Each structure stands twice: as C-alpha cells, then as structure tokens.
Structure 1
Amino acid sequence: MDPRGGAPGRDRLSALPVDVLLLILLRLDTATAGRTSVLSHHWRRIWALLPELRFPADADLRLVASALAAHEAAISYLDVRALDAAPESVEACLALAADRLSGRLVFRNRVSPGGNADGDGETGGFHLPCLDKATAVSLDLGFLGLAVPTTGVFARLTELSLLHVRLRCSSWGLSDAVSSRRCPCLQKLSIDYARGLANLTIESQSLLELNLQGVDGLQQLIIAARALNKLHLIHSSVADGGPLVAVISTPQLVSLGWVDLYGSTSILLGNWPRLENLHSSFNVYSLHDSWINHGFLRLLKRFQFIRHLHITLLYLKDIGNFQYAMEDLTKLPCLTSLSIMVRHNGHAFGASLFHMLRICSDLKMLVLSLHNQVNCIVPDPCPSGCVCDQQPSDWKTEDLTLNCLQAVSIDMEGSDHQVAFVKRLLTWAVVLKIMCINFDCSMSECKVKELRQTLSSFARPETSVKFYMFQNEGMKFSGTKYRLAP
C-alpha cells in the first residue's frame, strides 16, 4: 500500500511533465533511453524528443540510423562512437542527421587492431553532407576516405575538426569548403594527421584559430585570415615535390606554435613585430643540419619581443652520434616568461637549462617541466659513458645572477639530476619571491618528505616555497594536484 494513501503500484513517474522526463532521459545514453518506449503508450515517443543523442562506444550504426530516422526533435548535440565503421553506414547516419542537427556533431571511428585503417585513396570513403545548421563538427575517422561537399553553405559552423582523415576530394575542395564564402562563421579549424591534402588555401574573414599537425604530403599552404590570432603548425612529412611552401598573412596573430620537422625553406610570413606566445622545439643533440633547430632559430630572428616563450628541449634516446647543439642558440628575444619542457629520456640536462637561463637573464617568470614519464613510468637511465656526461659542466660551479626572476614553477620526479639543478637555481635567483614545486605521482612519501626539507634549506628567507603533489588519474597530464601541508 502507498504510505500516502494511494493505490499500490501507482505510476507517479509518468505523471511528471514531459520536460522533466526529458531531463531524466538525458542522463542515459540514447540506446538505453530508447528502451523506455516499451514502458507504456505515454513513454513511446518521449525519447524521440531528446535534444541530445549519445551513442556509446562501438555503436551499431544500423541502430543509430534507425534512431535518427525515428527522432522528431531538433538535435543540439549528437555523439556517435563506432568501431571499424563501414563508410556507407557513416554516410547514411550523417545524411539522416543533417536535417535535424542544429548544434554540435562528434563522430569517432575507432579502428581495431588489424582493422583496415588504410586505403588506396579511391575506395573506402563517403561523402559528407552539407551540415548547414551545425555549429561545431568533429570527425575522427580512422583514415576513412572523406569527400567534402562541393556545394552548400555551412551557415552556422564555428568549429571544424578533422582527425585521422583521408581526403578523397581535390585540395581545392577543402579549401573552398572552409572559405568565408561557404563557412562565413568559422572561427576554429583543426586538421590533424590527414592524408591526401597536397595544397591548402584558407581565405577567411572570421577564422580565429588554426591547427595543422601531421598533414602528410602537404606541399603548399596559403593563409589569408585577417582575424586569425592563433596558429599552430607541426609539419611532419616530406612531400614528394619537396619542402612545404607557405605564404601566411595574419596581421592579428598573437600566438604561434611552429615545429618544422622537415625543412620548409620557402616560407613567407606576415609582419608580426611582437607575439604574446610562441611554442616550438629544439633538439639538444642533433646533426649539423637539423631542420627543427634551423627552423626555430630562423623564427626567433623575426621577433624582438615575445611575452611568453614555450619551448620543448628534446633529447633522443640514443645521442651517441649527435653533437651538442645548445651553443647554436646564442640569443633570445626579450621575454616576460619562459616555459621549458625537458624531454630528457634519462639524460643529464643541467647544461642545456643553464644555457637557456644565461641568455635570458632578465626573465621574470620561469616554468619548468622536468618529468619525462608516461603514466608514471620512469624512463631508463642513459648508459654509463653516455655523451650527455660530456656536456659543459660550468652550470655546477659558475655563478649566474637572475636578478629579475620573481616566480618559478617546477614539475619534477625527484631524480638526482633534477634536485641538483633546482638547488643551483635557488642560488641564482637572488630576488625570487615564490617557487612552486610539483612532485610527481610516482614519488614515495619518504622521498617527498626528504626533498621538501632539502630544497627548503636552499631557499632564501624571503622566498616562499610551496610544495604540491600530483594525483595519479591514469594519464600523466590529466591528473590534478593538491597542496602539501607545511
């Protein structure tokens, strides 16, 4: 008996307003929400009014297509995760979604081990419909072939992301599709690990951010985007026709990420007298003709002032046949802050960091990332007699006065190399106000306690040293950190 006097087994849930029932169903994936249609006649069509549809990993695209065909409301968010999807099934689903999609589309095709992630460039692809009411589209296709529509306007699209895609259209097709004429509101464009794109021309009045990474075979890049303020380019393959030819006109650019892995010697850049942010990389040990290093050095010459420089110092696992290259880096632009990520692969790195600080002694803020782990796995130390032991050792004894450095943040694992460098840094930074030391999740409680005492003893009385500990949440850089009590 109902304790409030009602009849036993009375269906009170169905009496709730439809808006409330939809809020309940939104907490379920769409396949589960659809199964509520068997509860009663009242529930039969409620799921079809959901504004957001989420299909779990490895969804059967035939069922996804059936659900989209039966759906009745506008879709503000559509998320589909498939496994080894057939291109014709993908095309059928997206064609059904095109009429109702009025918001964000996320489609991911996961390729199983041994699955067909490659193709001959002529088969295994599908045509993307013109999603004229979509506001954001993210396609991770597992290198399925993709042909972009040659007609129609993506009138509301502000974000487009293409990942692991094999373009089956001509290069002109994608260039035309992302132009202001057909994407008048596009603000962010990302193309990562794409094939079949030899030439890309972007002419946009609205584009604010552009990310290109690992575009195989890219030979020509032309960017004319007056409003663009963020550009990130990692050119990571040698095209058959030679190095990348780039013409870039972006007068409003304030943030630039540039890593040229294969020597793009024909580059015409716009006038950027000063940058807010520059992201790049440098090989500490390299051959004399290292394209990464030459590209970075050429880039630095363009600027007198960079507010924030973010650089990754790269150490190869085996550096026995390479030369120490830091001496090639003789000058940096005027900086406010410097962020250095050291990918040391177990090698000694004190000399390279000392060199960086010596050529920017007017620095005010320093951020160091010294860990080199994946999922808290410590890399093997370099072998005895490694060439890294022959680095200049003046950093261990030579005085360096950093009389502008006021704030430092360091991520560390607690190795002897790291501790030795931090001790020296505390003696060089004569006006340091605050240092934050972030210990790695792999460190033992005993080790953390020992290092807190040791490093605190090297700090000046006027320096506030704060210690934090990363929490292990599976992926190294997705974890959070918490403050260690004094």
Structure 2
Amino acid sequence: MAVLVPIDGDGDGEGEGGRAKAVTDPAPAPAPAPMDMDGDRGALDVLAPAPMAMDLDRDRGRDRDGYGDGEALVASTRNGRGRGRGHLNDLPEDILAVILRRLLDTRAAARTSLLSRRWRHVWKWVSGLFLHHYQPHDSSIVRAALAAHAVHAVTNINKLYVVCLRSATPDAAASWIRVAAPLISGELAFCNRASVPFHMLFDEVFSDPIEERGALELPCFTRATKIALRLGFLGLSLPPSGVFAALRELRLSFVRFHGELTLDDTVMPFLEGLEIYSARGLASLTLRLKHLNWMNLSAVRGLLRLNAVVPRLKFLTVSCCFRSSTWLVAMAGVCIVAEELQVLKWLDWYCPRLIKFSQMPRLYVLSVSPFYPYGRHRQHTKFNPSCDRLLKTFSRIRCLEMLVFIEPHLGGVNPLMEGITRLPDIRFLHLQFSAHGHVYGASVLYMLTMCTGISNLKIGGDRYKDQDVCPPNCSCDQPPNWRDNKDISMRSLREVQMLNFRGKEHELDLLRVLVRVATGIRRIRITCHRSFAAWERLSAVIRSFARPETSVEVSQAPPSLQRQ
C-alpha cells in the first residue's frame, strides 16, 4: 500500500523543511469487523464486511485510542512559521460527518469505522443515508443501517435514499419504511426496480396486462418534509390514520393504485407540491389542499374523476391522463377550483362540457395540447379540435405556449392548420416544433395571422436529429408562396428568438419574412444547435437583411441543453 511518510526534519513532518514522500507499505493483515460495544455488531457486519486497507491511527495492532498521528492519510503541511500539520483525524465529528456524506454511499461510510476507535460511530453522525439492497425479499441491510444509526445518531436523518435494483416485495419495502418513519425529519426517496430502463417502465403504464406485484401501505411520516416514491408499479395506499404534519412535497411515480385517492388538509395540512407520474389504477382523485402551490399529473392511466379544490395553486400541469377512448365513454368529469392559478399547462384532451375550471383572473401562461398542422391519422382530427376548444375558453392570456408536431412522412396529406380558428389576445407566443426535418415556416405564419399584436415571438426548432429531407412539393411547404407573404402586419413585434437553429434555408426564409412584416423588430436572438458548424458566421448573414437598428445575437447552446 502506498502511503505518505515524513522525510527530512524530526521524523514526524514537523521539523523545519519537513516534507513527505510516498513509499510502499505492505498491506495489513485482514482484520475482523470491530466489536460492537453497543449491540449493533450485526449492522456493521452487513454494512462494512470488507476490512479497510488503511489504519488511520497507524497503531498496527496496538490498542486504539483515536489519537494516532494520521500521516497515513494526510501529509504534513507547512505554515508561515514552517511548523504545523493537518490531520483528517483531528477534525470535529460534525465536519467528518459532512465529508462522509459526500460519499453518497452509506456502506462506504460505515467502513470507516475500521479506521480507528474514534471513527467507530462517526458514520452515524451523517444526516443523509444512501442505501442499496439487491434481494427482492430481503431488505435487512436497510433495516440494520437505520437501527444502528438511531442508536448513536446525534442528528436526525434529513435524507434517506434507498434503491432496490430488482423488484422489491411489498413486505420487504414495508419492513424498512416502518423503521424509517419516526427517524426522518427531511426527505425520503425510494427507487424500486432501478435496473429497469425508464422507457420500459413508462411502457408498462399503457401495457395490458401488467404483472401484479402486491401493495404497500405507507406509514405516517410525521416529520418528513418530502417524500418521493418510484415504486416500479408496487401498489400503494395511505395509512387509515395519522397526520403528515411536516410534509411539503409528495412525488409518486410508477405507482399502482386501487381505485380512489383522497388528499386533504386533515392528512397533509401543509402540502405545497404534488406530482403523480406514470400511474395505473387511479380512477378518482380528490384534493382539498389549501396550501398546495404546484401540481403535476402526467400519464395517470384510467383517471375518470378529478375534483380539486386548491385555492392557492399557482402552477398546474395535466398531461396524457384523459386521452383514451375508454375514458371518453366512462368519464365522470373534472372540476378544478384554483382562483390563484398563474400557469396552466393542459397538455391533454379538453371538452368544456366535462372539464370545468373556476375563474382564474391571475392566469399568465397557458400551454395547450400538441397540435398537428398536417395529419393522416384519425387521432389528429380529434386532438386539434380539443386544442381549439381550450384556446377559445380564454379571451386574454399574457403568454401562450404551443407544441406543434409535423409527422415524419406526410405523403399527400392535406393541411389541418385551419383546425385552429382563434387565439386569445396574447403578448408572447412560444411555438415549439417537433418537425422531423420538415419545413415549419407556413405553420408559423398561419398562427401569426391570428395574433398580429404580439410583442415577443419564440420559435423552438426540432431538438432531435433531422429525419430524411422532405420530398419536393411536400405538404409541409404549403402554400408554396408563404415566403412572399405580404398580408401580415406585425407592428407590435419587438423581439424574435429562435432555438435549436440548424442553418436550414427554410429557417432563414422565415426570418426574412418576419423582418419584412415586422418593421419594429429591435432584437433577434438565435441559439444554434450544436450540429450547425457555421454558427459564428450566421450573425453577418442575418444582418445583411435585418434593419440597421436591429440587434442580432447568435450563440450556440451547450451540449447539455440539447439532444440528438
């Protein structure tokens, strides 16, 4: 084993000019797991079965007193007077606990108990536990770690993160969750079936049949502030009694419910955030939560009734919950009372007869379900009218966001752009395209004919890799004279922003049209996709047709913000 030992000076690195060099030290003989003087030897056997290769006290078998010289871990250092040293072993326990938490692996943190007697319980000072178990029927390693931490812990657990790579049984999950419930004063996160890719789990939302994996009853966490459960389609039910008095955020994903779920102020009196993502079996959801600030319901298959009285809700997203034909036949209705709502993202089917919103005078942003300007499938003719009905519900919105899909292979499909007949009175329009390499200029101009008073236009180009170029006379480029459009007057338009710009000629053609019809543009911002190599020269090209008073900014988005 390579360690650092002092050379020059007085032999311990404290002499004038003391320094350290690396030498090879024979590996120590395997040591047994330390005896547990407090009765939690079993936990250490499970968490730290492998002997450590480093003895922090350097006592080589001597009785450990926790005050060894520590040169094996930290070399001698020099201060302004030439003397002094920094020893990891000399740090206070709370600082050591912070260091161990950064390992994000409680098993590794527990192994430090073999370094010295002083380190025996340091891992139990760590306020965040990160645990794995691999056997579906056996979560004893998690229970043992929680029990051992509870014996000597100076601080409560403010984060518990448990991962099961395979499909844990309800009994195995419940056994450690019951132990954790009184210990957690912060966050609980549980990820079941972690080895299954995300897209495969998502496919199970809409698969028939699905394997029955049993149900888990969640105990009452009286002090937890956040609970995030990714259950891999284990069943879930709430306790029949008890109050989640400190809970502020609840996230449930890949969960299987059994009929109804009710969340109200008697159970979760201070809940501020709720997410239910990719769930099955939830037919009826009732919410009476006066402190709820945001809510996200996405891919909740089989939801037939939603009744939410959430007077302080400000952000609401509903996506892919009400699209199946089964729901349209059996639905019982949706009623949402949210007078303080500011952002509504309704990316779903909408019918004003069955879906009721309260008055929302503070509504600022509206996002609507995907729109198909060209279509060949029957579902497109169903979704487009739904989108149009929702737009007509609101007379005035500050910002409108629309996701527009253009199919990869259009053939001779007729345009469906006329499916949108009116837009609200808006100031900001954000169009995000999934165009698969097709032209989208005609679709943009059609939308602009219904909102000529906007001041800000944002166009998000395709984030994904282009498909094959569309054939000549493709439907996406109709009408063919859109590049010569002189009928639109955008006098209020001041800023145009284009994202994921790829340098295609049709993208530049759209910019030329916008500059021509909007004489008041003062700023053009282009963020290029990383596949566009000539982005640094693009600014000069745009300035060649933009007005002199228009500011042109061109940049390239970092790879982390783009997809191929």
Q: TM-score, normalised by structure 2?
A: 0.77
1:311 aligned to 2:389? no
Q: Quote the Cα distance in structure 2 between the aligned partners of 1:342 and 1:322.
A: 18
1:2 aligned to 2:12? yes
Amino acid at match of 2:531: S
| Larger Rg computed on CA atoms | 2
Larger mean Cα displacement after TM superposition, 76-85 or 183-192: 76-85
Corresponding residue for residue 112 of structure 1:
196
Question: SS at the partner of 2:470?
Answer: coil
1:472 aligned to 2:559? yes
1:118-157 equivalent positions in 2, closer than 5 A: 123-157=213-247
1:26-175 equivalent positions in 2, closer than 5 A: 26-29=101-104, 30-55=106-131, 61-72=139-150, 73=153, 74-87=156-169, 88-109=171-192, 110-112=194-196, 123-168=213-258, 170-171=259-260, 174-175=261-262
Amino acid at match of 2:360: W
Shift of 1:190: 0.8
Amino acid at match of 1:423: R
Q: Which runs of 5+ in 2 are unaligned?
A: 1-10, 19-56, 59-67, 71-86
Deviations 1:34-89 (A, max 9, x none): 11011112111110121112237979944233211211231111222331231232
Question: SS at the partner of 2:398?
Answer: strand
Corresponding residue for residue 84 of structure 2:
none
Q: Quote the Cα distance in structure 2 between the aligned partners of 1:14 and 1:288.
A: 66
Amino acid at match of 1:229: K
Larger mean Cα displacement after TM superposition, 158-167 or 108-117: 108-117
Larger mean Cα displacement after TM superposition, 107-116 or 254-263: 107-116
Corresponding residue for residue 453 of structure 1:
540
**Alpha carbons 2:233, 2:254 under 8 Å: kept:** yes
Shift of 1:462: 0.4
Q: Quote the Cα distance in structure 2 between the aligned partners of 1:81 and 1:365.
A: 45
Larger mean Cα displacement after TM superposition, 159-168 or 235-244: 235-244
Question: SS at the partner of 1:367?
Answer: strand
Corresponding residue for residue 483 of structure 1:
none
Residues 97, 166 of structure 1: alpha-carbon distance in 2 compared, 3 angstrom cutoff: same
Corresponding residue for residue 16 of structure 1:
91
Question: SS at the partner of 2:330?
Answer: coil
Corresponding residue for residue 299 of structure 1:
390
**Alpha carbons 1:159, 1:188 under 8 Å: kept:** yes
**Alpha carbons 2:130, 2:161 under 8 Å: kept:** yes
Deviations 1:247-304 (A, max 9, x none): 1221221211112248685112212346200011322124597332222222222222
Corresponding residue for residue 492 of structure 2:
404
Amino acid at match of 1:161: R
Q: Quote the Cα distance in structure 2 between the aligned partners of 1:347 and 1:165.
A: 38
Q: Quote the Cα distance in structure 2 between the aligned partners of 1:289 and 1:112.
A: 32
Residues 123, 142 of structure 1: alpha-carbon distance in 2 compared, 3 angstrom cutoff: closer
**Alpha carbons 1:407, 1:434 under 8 Å: kept:** yes
Corresponding residue for residue 318 of structure 2:
233
**Alpha carbons 1:51, 1:75 under 8 Å: kept:** yes
Amino acid at match of 1:283: Y
**Alpha carbons 1:345, 1:372 under 8 Å: kept:** no
Corresponding residue for residue 438 of structure 1:
527
Higher strand proportion:
1
Residues 278, 194 of structure 1: alpha-carbon distance in 2 compared, 3 angstrom cutoff: same
**Alpha carbons 1:205, 1:227 under 8 Å: kept:** yes
Q: Quote the Cα distance in structure 1 between the aligned partners of 2:286 and 2:237.
A: 17
Amino acid at match of 1:84: R
Shift of 1:305: 1.3
Corresponding residue for residue 3 of structure 2:
none
Amino acid at match of 2:458: V
Q: Quote the Cα distance in structure 2 between the aligned partners of 1:410 and 1:125.
A: 48
Shift of 1:419: 2.1
Amino acid at match of 1:462: E
Residues 136, 416 of structure 1: alpha-carbon distance in 2 compared, 3 angstrom cutoff: same
Shift of 1:321: 7.0
1:126-275 equivalent positions in 2, closer than 5 A: 126-168=216-258, 170-171=259-260, 174-175=261-262, 178-234=263-319, 235=321, 236-239=323-326, 241-243=329-331, 245-261=333-349, 266-273=354-361, 275=363
Q: Quote the Cα distance in structure 2 between the aligned partners of 1:296 and 1:43.
A: 62
Q: Which runs of 5+ in 1 are unaligned?
A: 480-486
Question: SS at the partner of 2:401?
Answer: strand
**Alpha carbons 1:308, 1:335 under 8 Å: kept:** yes
Residues 299, 199 of structure 1: alpha-carbon distance in 2 compared, 3 angstrom cutoff: same
Shift of 1:406: 1.1
Corresponding residue for residue 354 of structure 1:
445
Corresponding residue for residue 283 of structure 1:
372
**Alpha carbons 2:133, 2:142 under 8 Å: kept:** no
**Alpha carbons 1:121, 1:145 under 8 Å: kept:** no
Shift of 1:401: 2.3
Question: SS at the partner of 2:366?
Answer: strand
Q: Quote the Cα distance in structure 1 between the aligned partners of 2:107 and 2:470.
A: 52
Residues 449, 24 of structure 1: alpha-carbon distance in 2 compared, 3 angstrom cutoff: closer
Amino acid at match of 1:70: A
Amino acid at match of 1:164: F
Shift of 1:384: 4.6
Question: SS at the partner of 1:165?
Answer: strand
Question: SS at the partner of 1:461?
Answer: coil
Shift of 1:202: 0.9
Q: Quote the Cα distance in structure 1 between the aligned partners of 2:455 and 2:332.
A: 36
Q: Quote the Cα distance in structure 2 between the aligned partners of 1:232 and 1:298.
A: 18
Shift of 1:361: 1.1
Corresponding residue for residue 479 of structure 2:
392
**Alpha carbons 1:370, 1:418 under 8 Å: kept:** no
Shift of 1:148: 2.2
Q: Identity of paired residues, percent?
A: 34
Question: SS at the partner of 1:14?
Answer: helix
Shift of 1:317: 2.5
Shift of 1:363: 0.6
Q: TM-score, normalised by structure 1?
A: 0.88
Residues 306, 138 of structure 1: alpha-carbon distance in 2 compared, 3 angstrom cutoff: same
Larger mean Cα displacement after TM superposition, 403-412 or 72-81: 72-81
Question: SS at the partner of 2:231?
Answer: strand
Aligned length: 466
Q: Quote the Cα distance in structure 1 between the aligned partners of 2:352 and 2:395.
A: 23
Larger mean Cα displacement after TM superposition, 37-46 or 324-333: 324-333
Shift of 1:232: 1.0
Amino acid at match of 2:142: V
Q: Quote the Cα distance in structure 2 between the aligned partners of 1:248 and 1:343.
A: 30
